[in-house]
Structure formats: C-alpha cells, structure tokens
Amino acid sequence: MFYEWLLSQRERRDDVGGFALIAASDKKFPRQSHRLYILLRHCGDNPMLRRICKKAHAEFRAVRRAAAEESVVSYLDGGGK
C-alpha cells in the first residue's frame, strides 16, 4: 500500500518525489510494509532520509484516512444500499 502510493509520487519535484525515486530504484526497499518503524529502519541513520520518510508516511496516512472517511460518508448517504 505505502510503496504503491509512494511510487505514484515520483513526478513530484519535492523531497517526497525524490524519496519515491530512491525507493523505486532500491531493490531492498520494504515494499510490502506500510509500518513507519520498518521504513525508518531501512533508512538507517540518515537524518534527512528519515525526515523525508516520516513526511511521506504522514501524507500517505492522511490520504488513506480521507479515503476511508469519504467511503463512510458515501455509505451513510445511501451509497451502501
């Protein structure tokens, strides 16, 4: 989930886009995980990479949360019938 979202950010011209490019070329990137602690462990001791990873992960969580809320609202408005 996170990895797919991250790859969709590759065209961005900011830190998250750069992180996405790094992840796409990193054969050892934890592609199956969406847990921040696993992603940070992969970033190692690089403070800049860890900061960008946290930023990307926060955006990912916000997008997921907004999608879940939209789904609930749609269901409550009669879309679930």
* pLDDT value for 81: 52
Contacts 24+ apart (CB under 8 A), 5-11: 5/60, 5/63, 6/56, 6/60, 9/56
Q: Tell me, what amino acid is at 21?
A: L
Contacts of 13 (CB under 8 A, 6+ apart): none
Domain extents for the chain? 2-79
Tally the residues of the chain. 81
Q: Tell me, what amino acid is at 15?
A: D
* pLDDT value for 67: 87
Q: How confident is residue 59, by pLDDT bands cut at 50, 70 and 90?
A: very high
Cα separation, 15 vs 49, in Å, equals 9
* pLDDT value for 73: 58
